[in-house]
A = this chain, B = another copy of it.
Amino acid sequence: MPKSLFEAEEKNAEGFAKECAVVTHYRLQNDPDNPGKLRVDPEAKLEEELVVRPTSEAIIWNTYKGWIQSYRDLPLLINQWANVVRWEMRTRLFLRTAEFLWQEGHTAHATKTEALAEAETMNNVYATFAENFMAIPVIQGLKSESERFAGADETYCIEALMQDGKALQAGTSHFLGQNFAKAFDVKFTNKEGKQDYVWATSWGVSTRLMGALIMTHSDDQGLVLPPNLAPNQVVVVPIYKTEEQLEEITKIVNNILKDLRSKGITVKYDNRTTHRPGAKFAQHELQGVPLRIAIGLRDLENGTVELARRDTLTKETVAINSLTEKVEGLMTEIQESLYNKALKFRDSHITEVDNFEDFKAILKNKGGFISAHWDGTVETEEKIKEITKATIRCLPLEGELEDGFCVYSKKPSNRRVLFAKAY
């Protein structure tokens, strides 16, 4: 986006200016000093630099300006999948990459109430997806002022806990107030014929969710995928020596595939002749396929197969005639089991703390979320971060009001918030 658009919403620009990729030229040319190499063509300098978008509000609201005149044009929702760039000092695979693919939704509303409701709805959508599909329990909450999206009046978030005790912000949904409407002069005529600025939200999740998935469920054998998300829920591996044996096994397997697929289960038959069963087992474990079916000659005789669960690494022998039913049941069981295991871990890593010594000790020895009173000031938040590296992950939506004293400043507080070290 042109620099002039980028800088229009001041807080947003300020928040991202320190970490954005800037396009200054539009051409390379052969380097006369290094044959076969290219250099930037100094003649191809842009009059106005472009910023590779770190997020698209500026472009969206510059566009909405031309689209919105009346309440009849509202509400308006645009969702786009796009690559964005944020020039991070320290990158981390999946979690914090300089470039990432995400979906970003941008809505425009006639009223504050409707915009707030939309921001909440989308945060719910993200929570539901994380929990029901990814089997990742999340805490819904609001960000503190200093952790808010630059340009937002309120940031809703879903926070997950990784196996190493660090928190991960897995998705955010922002109530943008009228900030972008004012920066880009987007007004509408309401039902009463009066002009007003439009109310806005934006929300996104990114490939960071892949990181969340990996770090929530994986073990030393590799990835563990929840059935509701696995591209292949089941893999079938034949155990054979001769081609004739493979043919015989394949006949039985074809029926198994047909039955499983008729129940909507995705299943892959790994009949590659280039790899031994052991190598296949290791690969599918590494890739997290929820369930493996192995079938060999003795199974043919006995009318059985061997089932291996990825999540528990347990095996059992099952009769082929009850296999489909068994697999169907396991899909639900594995999904629930992964979620419950992560939930148990998460819940056992939320520690209520009432003094700063305990705060530091828990953070050091146990990790996870710390539920503590906070005096609501940016100064305290910064001080705690400076000393412990823990930040306020969110003010949980479900948290109840409770009188107490700030864990750091000992000033009065009326609710607990969640602190954690975070990715």
Contacts and interface: CB of A to CB of B under 8 A. Distances in A.
A52 interface: yes
A22 B21 CA distance: 10
Interface in A119-138: none
B101 A6 contact: no
A13 B35 CA distance: 13
Interface in A75-120: 81-83, 87, 101
Interface in A273-300: 274-275
Interface in A58-77: 71-72
Interface string A29-40: 110000011101
Given A71-B274, A101-B82, A40 B22 contact: yes
Contacts of A19: 26-27
Given A40-B49, A49-B40, A24 B26 contact: no
B50 A21 contact: yes
Contact of A23 (B22, B37, B71): B22
Contact of A20 (B18, B24, B27, B51): B27
B72 A274 contact: yes
Contacts of A87: 26-27
Secondary structure call for the A interface: mixed
A17 interface: yes
A347 interface: no
A10 B35 CA distance: 11
Given A40-B22, A81-B101, A17 B27 contact: yes
Interface residues of A, number: 36
A326 interface: no
A412 to B, nearest CB: 38
A308 to B, nearest CB: 23
A202 B174 CA distance: 39
A275 B17 contact: no
Contact of A29 (B6, B17, B274): B17
Given A49-B40, A52-B52, A72-B275, A24 B27 contact: no
13 contacts: A6-B38, A18-B28, A19-B26, A20-B27, A21-B50, A22-B24, A22-B27, A23-B52, A24-B40, A71-B274, A72-B274, A81-B81, A82-B101
Given A21-B25, A21-B26, A82-B101, 5 more contacts: A3-B28, A17-B38, A20-B27, A22-B26, A28-B51
Interface of A: 3, 6-7, 10, 13, 17-30, 36-38, 40, 49-52, 71-72, 81-83, 87, 101, 274-275
